[in-house]
């Protein structure tokens, strides 16, 4: 740089002899400035190279971390989905949303409790191979659980062929609406079972399933029970025991409810009063009611269907002519008279079997 700048200055200034000392000092200072700039530029370029490399490495680390987080989230979602199958949706949501703490605690609440089981399940089990029985039972529980969830029930547990569910916790629509939802659910289950009878019979099952249902509304203790290491969200109390007792007292295909439930649903559900029953732990006999159907359904329905081992009735009033209706009425009266005569004659009457 010194020689180049010297030649350029000599040519520009027209100097042919030796460069003056002052000019040499000036040229040296300029050369030093250029050299310093070159060094600074080199350092800056080196710094930029290092920064670019570090930035690239940092981006790579972020990318790898994002992929790892996405993988862990995917695994967590899969695990959560599996865990959800072991919990009622309401309980699952309340735990994962933080509304409910996972610790031993309980509350007293007025709930509507539902119990159901399959009438004559032991006999059905003896008729089927274990594989067929498993498939039948899972099909039944799946269909009933779908209905339960659609009505907002908290499914407590499955005990073999039995289903325990309740309304009023962790979410409630009010005692009256909870009771009505529970009874509507039970009616929907009974209707669905009627449809499934034909499916099961076509599949070779000689005696399709029929369930018995008991429902009670009352105060229960609900919450987490167990130990710090293993706990279960469930219900206990006399209100629960009464619902279980109603279920065992119900006939196959029957929905039996206690008075408090009846008081909440009677405006929309047609019921028939039944016998008093005595329940362990309750001093007085309990009034029971048999659920027939919703009032709105009874107005709309034009069919009557009933099927037992030695009796079958299938009538459609809307399609029957006047003559058919009169003839049917005569036949039914004759049947009723015959049944009454045989009962009076000492022949064994039809007996409802219950498992107390």
How high is the pLDDT of residue 355?
36
**Using an 8 Å Cβ cutoff, are 190 and 255 in contact?**
yes
How high is the pLDDT of residue 198?
83
The answer to which of 122-131, 303-312, 333-342 has the lowest mean pLDDT is 303-312
Residue at token pair 């498939």: 135
Helix (H) or strand (E) holding 24: helix 21-84
Percent of the chain with pLDDT over 90: 32
Which of 215, 204, 247, 244 has its CA nearest to residue 118? 247
**What angle do helix axes 21-84 and 2-13 make, rounded to 10 degrees?**
130
pLDDT in tens, 213-251: 999 999 999 988 888 777 888 999 999 999 999 999 999
The pLDDT confidence band at residue 275, using thresholds 50, 70 and 90, is: confident
Contact partners, residue 242, CB within 8 Å, separation at least 6: 113, 214, 216, 218, 258, 279, 282, 286
Mean pLDDT of 79-107: 69
- Fold classification of 100-300 (topology level): Alpha-Beta Plaits (3.30.70)
- Token pair in block for residue 222: 């609900």
pLDDT of 323 higher than 50: yes
**What angle do helix axes 175-202 and 130-150 make, rounded to 10 degrees?**
150
Return the domain boundaries, the chain: 2-64, 100-300, 302-356
The mean predicted confidence, pLDDT, of the chain is 81
**Using an 8 Å Cβ cutoff, are 226 and 125 in contact?**
no
**Using an 8 Å Cβ cutoff, are 169 and 182 in contact?**
no
Rounded to two decimals, what is the model's pTM? Answer: 0.66
Residue at token pair 């695994």: 75
Helix (H) or strand (E) holding 60: helix 21-84
pLDDT of 346 higher than 90: no
How high is the pLDDT of residue 51?
73
- Token pair in block for residue 329: 């009425």
Q: Output 147 or 126, whichever has higher pLDDT.
A: 147
How high is the pLDDT of residue 324?
81
pLDDT in tens, 51-79: 777 777 777 788 888 888 888 888 877 77
Q: Output 354 or 14, whichever has higher pLDDT.
A: 14
How high is the pLDDT of residue 350?
42
pLDDT of 85 higher than 70: no
| CA–CA separation, 1 and 27 (whole Å) | 9
Helix (H) or strand (E) holding 156: strand 154-159
| CA–CA separation, 60 and 294 (whole Å) | 65
- Token pair in block for residue 322: 């006047």
Mean pLDDT of 327-349: 74
Q: Is omega for the bond preceding 146 within 30 degrees of 0, making it cis?
A: no
pLDDT of 202 higher than 50: yes
| CA–CA separation, 63 and 69 (whole Å) | 10
Q: Output 291 or 9, whichever has higher pLDDT.
A: 291
pLDDT in tens, 39-51: 777 778 777 776 7
Half-sphere exposure of 236 (CA within 13 A, CB side): 9
How high is the pLDDT of residue 259?
95
CB atoms within 10 A of CB 88: 21
Q: Collapsing DSSP states into helix, strand and coil, what is residue 88?
A: coil
Could you give the residue ranges of the DSSP H alpha helices within 159-311? 175-202, 238-249, 259-265, 295-300
pLDDT of 341 higher than 90: no
How high is the pLDDT of residue 301?
65
How high is the pLDDT of residue 283?
79
Mean pLDDT of 192-206: 84
CB atoms within 10 A of CB 272: 9
DSSP 17: S
Q: Are strands 255-258 and 211-226 parallel, antiparallel or unpaired?
A: parallel
Which of 148, 216, 145 has its CA nearest to residue 179? 216
pLDDT of 81 higher than 80: no
pLDDT in tens, 7-35: 666 666 565 566 566 666 666 766 666 67
| CA–CA separation, 200 and 198 (whole Å) | 6
| CA–CA separation, 177 and 269 (whole Å) | 13
């Amino acid at each position: 740089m010194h020689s180049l700048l010297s030649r350029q200055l000599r040519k520009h200034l027209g100097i042919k002899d030796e460069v003056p000392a002052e000019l040499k000092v000036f040229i040296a200072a300029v050369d030093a400035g250029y050299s310093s700039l070159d060094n600074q530029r080199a350092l800056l370029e080196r710094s930029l190279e290092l920064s670019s490399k570090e930035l690239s490495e940092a981006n790579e680390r972020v990318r790898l971390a994002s992929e790892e987080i996405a993988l862990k989230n995917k695994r967590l979602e899969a695990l959560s989905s599996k865990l959800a199958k072991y919990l009622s949706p309401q309980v699952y949501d309340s735990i994962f949303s933080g509304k409910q703490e996972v610790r031993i605690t309980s509350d007293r609440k007025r709930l509507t409790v539902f119990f159901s089981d399959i009438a004559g399940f032991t006999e059905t089990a003896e008729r089927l191979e274990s594989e067929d029985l498993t498939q039948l039972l899972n099909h039944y529980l799946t269909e009933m659980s779908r209905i339960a969830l659609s009505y907002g029930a908290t499914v407590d547990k499955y005990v073999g062929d039995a289903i325990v569910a309740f309304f009023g916790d962790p979410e409630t629509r009010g005692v009256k609406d909870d009771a009505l939802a529970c009874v509507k659910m039970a009616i929907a289950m009974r209707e669905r079972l009627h449809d499934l009878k034909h499916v099961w019979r076509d599949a070779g099952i000689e005696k399709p399933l029929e369930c018995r249902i008991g429902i009670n509304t009352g105060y229960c203790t609900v919450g987490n029970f167990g130990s710090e290491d293993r706990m279960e969200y469930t219900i206990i109390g006399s209100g629960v025991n009464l619902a279980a007792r109603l279920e065992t007292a119900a006939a196959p295909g029957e929905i039996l409810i206690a008075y408090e439930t009846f008081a909440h649903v009677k405006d929309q559900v047609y019921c028939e009063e039944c016998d008093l029953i005595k329940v362990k732990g309750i001093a007085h006999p309990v009034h029971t009611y048999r659920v027939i159907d919703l009032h709105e359904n009874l107005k709309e329905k034009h069919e009557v269907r009933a099927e037992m081992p030695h009796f079958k009735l299938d009538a459609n009033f809307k399609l029957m002519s006047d003559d058919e209706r009169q003839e049917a009425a005569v036949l039914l009266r004759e049947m009723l008279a015959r049944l009454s005569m045989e009962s009076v004659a000492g022949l064994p009457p039809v007996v409802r079997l219950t498992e107390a």
